[in-house]
A and B are shown apart, each in its own frame.
Chain A
Amino acid sequence: MSDRKVIQIGPFHPLLEEPVGFSLTVEGERVVAIEARMDYIHKGLERLAQERTYDMVPILLERICGICSVTHSVCFCNAVEDLLGVEIPPRAAYIRTILGELERLHSHLLWVGLAGHFIGYNTVFMWAWKYREPVCDAFEMLTGHRQNSALPMVGGVRRDLPEEYFPAVRRMLDELEGQTARLTAAVLDDPVLAARLKGVGVLSPAAALDFGVVGPTARASGLATDVRRDEPYAAYAELDWRVILRPEGDVFAKAVVRLLEIPESIGILRQCLDRMPAGPLNLGTLHVPRGEGIGRYEAPRGEDVHYVRSNGTNMPERLKVRAPSFVNIPSFKASCLGAPMADVMITLAACDPCYSCTERAMTLVDGRGAPIAAAPGLLAASRQRTFALARAFGRAPDLDLALD
């Protein structure tokens, strides 16, 4: 077709909060092909984790994602604890649950706001983010920081939560419950929103299975997967809550699943605050023997998987992170092709993609697809550049060029 055009979304675009590249081939308004590129902000954290002790890695892994800081550090701890075959103390399990659910609350509210912004509904954007703010404040009250708590450690948690702030957190939960109930009712009743989102970007249950999508993206397509229920970690086995399911698979269903998961999280948090057991916080210093472990964790976006291999030293020999967005993002092939451009934008955003968690170092190719450099060469080039920069600024390089 002669009227085909390529619309480039990203690496910098108002739709994106992180750099990622989507090339949409469109015929008029209809999108016929999508190419995704995700290697703009590869941070090499897996490699960095291999140069840090088991005590330091969880703190490093909080930096994988700007939102899921608890997710990745606890998931790593789950993996190492799987390797060790230890159970963490009950108080530590409850503290991890509280942190995880607070994170889910603010992450879901963040998505609701962004989704509103993406379809030009900036009032929803501002309201959802206003509701999100007290959740971050509660996180700060409990841990000292709005995002990165530095609490999870292998074998438990590093510090206790200050119980004098629990009443304030409870008050925050009560207020948030009313606010999200109103927001949910408003979203469910809005005819224009329904016209805009219902039947848009449908991911059928079969396609959801094929792509192996996880989290709210899967649950909105009727797949009942939730690691918290299927393979309980932390304190989830002792708590009461529902797994929210919607069969439709469209963007509206994804929004509804997230909105309805907010009250469930609030319920979990209340139970945790009420039943918080006393006792030790961690198992002390642990020696990690040779072996390998798998950690699973239900992040706000779905199942996060960490694989750890130990060679008996105090640093992991290999860490592999499989963030939920890695399996959720490719599902656009099933839900976006053939749709109008306006629908594709919101569908791309509907799985709550988190790009920096998903980043892969890829092979650099030129315009015709011929490889310019692969990972080892890129690494060497990057080191040389760091070295040159350090020299230009008259500083001693903090990298050893003869490293490998």
Chain B
Amino acid sequence: MEIERLGEWLFFYLVFPGAAFTLALGLALSWVDRKVGALVQWRQGPPPGQPFWDVVKLLGKEVIVPQPAWTGFLVLPFVACAAALLAATLVWHAALGLPGGALGDLVVVFYLLAIPGLAVVLGGAASGNPLAAAGASREMKLILGYELPLLMALLVPVFQQRLVEGRQVAAATLSLEGLVRFQELAGEAVYRPSGLLALLVALICCQAKLGLVPFDLAEADTELAEGALLEYSGPPLAMFKLTQAVQLATLPVLLVTVLWGGVERSPGGVATFGAKVLALVTLFVLIRNTNPRVRIDQALRFFWGPATAVAILALALARLGW
């Protein structure tokens, strides 16, 4: 990283497409989540500013630290939010094709996106509350469950054999920008059977990563009373809520970028990209509102069974050029 371009990168991280932009988008999307959910349930739903004011209110609340908690309890929410924002910056950077060359590849983004989940696990365990510990252990199991099929699904566009200028080639790159450019050349990955299967698997895994029903086991408010987040209050809780909003604005974008093409540089292209992201978010919300919460053993059996099997099938199909 050249030092003279530090300003540019700071702008990317702090303003656009990083913190300021992603936070605003995430809060807007969490309003979409709440509004669509309300419509499904025949309710009115909140006004558009509600998620924002919820965070503002939390930021002004007292921080209560339980006695057995260690420093990590307060640090982790901020780490989670910072990591999610960094991941968001990298994903958006690639999706928009911003200048400055490749900032990070799929593996980096994947690891950054795992940090919020781990922060919830550690934070929950750090609080010393038995309900939070139960939530943390569920979250840990869930991470072990969904990460493998999610990674395999995201690798499908890397190995997918496509016909470009009469030759069978694969993208064979982990760089997000490379994947976007390859899809510009060869067509979006999702329009092949392997790409579609990969999108389906990735969608379900992201449902779990976002902690939405049917995989909201770690929070499970009617069982664990918010589980791992139980002891959090005030600004640290606001950070976790913001992290969830950032993830809601990052995961669909990641899926679209990797499997469904980046942003074309035209008003139509931006609108198409926005529509794709919105479609995925709406799918998350609909799945969330038409399912009960599953048990942790059922969730693990699902991710290690059918989800992994379909991801392997998608990888095989991709290799065969389907």
Contact = CB atoms under 8 A, between A and B. Distances in A.
B196 to A, nearest CB: 22
B222 A117 contact: yes
Given A14-B221, A341-B223, A123 B40 contact: yes
Interface in B122-155: 130-131, 133-134, 137-138
A120 B130 contact: no
Interface stretch (A192-200, A214-222, A326-334, A388-396): A192-200
Contacts of A117: 222
Nearest to B38: A126
Interface stretch (B91-99, B258-266, B273-281, B291-299): B291-299
B42 A126 contact: yes
Contacts of A29: 134, 138, 296-297
Interface stretch (B25-33, B67-75, B199-207, B212-220): B212-220
Interface string A122-164: 1111110010000000000000000000000000000000000
Contacts of A13: 225
A259 interface: no
Given A26-B134, A29-B134, A120-B214, A342 B293 contact: yes
B5 interface: no
A7 B220 CA distance: 14
B130 A6 contact: yes
B134 A342 contact: no
Contact of B42 (A127, A196, A341, A343): A127
B295 A196 contact: yes
Interface in B264-314: 289-298
Interface string A168-193: 00000000000000000000001011
A116 interface: yes
Given A193-B292, A343-B295, A123 B223 contact: no
What is the size category of the interface that chain A forms with chain B? 20 to 34
B222 A123 contact: no
Contacts of A116: 292
Contact of B225 (A14, A122, A343): A14
Nearest to B286: A123
A47 interface: no
B42 A119 contact: no
B43 interface: yes
Nearest to A125: B41
Nearest to A186: B290
A122 B294 contact: no
Contacts of B37: 122
A15 B42 contact: no
B290 A119 contact: no
A13 B42 CA distance: 26
Contacts of A130: 42
A95 B214 CA distance: 44
A5 interface: yes
B128 to A, nearest CB: 11
A121 interface: yes
A118 to B, nearest CB: 5
Contacts of A345: 222-223
Nearest to B43: A126
A120 B207 CA distance: 14
A119 B41 contact: no
Interface in B16-61: 37, 40-43
A269 to B, nearest CB: 25
Identify the 5 closest CB pairs spanning chains A and B, nearest first. A120-B293, A126-B41, A121-B292, A119-B292, A342-B295
Given A122-B37, A123-B289, 20 more contacts: A5-B130, A5-B134, A7-B130, A29-B296, A119-B292, A120-B220, A120-B292, A121-B213, A121-B291, A121-B292, A121-B293, A122-B41, A127-B41, A127-B42, A190-B292, A192-B214, A192-B291, A196-B293, A340-B297, A342-B217
21 contacts: A5-B134, A14-B221, A14-B222, A28-B137, A29-B134, A117-B222, A120-B293, A121-B291, A122-B41, A123-B41, A123-B289, A123-B290, A127-B42, A130-B42, A192-B291, A193-B292, A341-B223, A342-B223, A342-B293, A343-B295, A345-B223
Interface of B: 37, 40-43, 130-131, 133-134, 137-138, 213-214, 216-217, 220-223, 225, 289-298
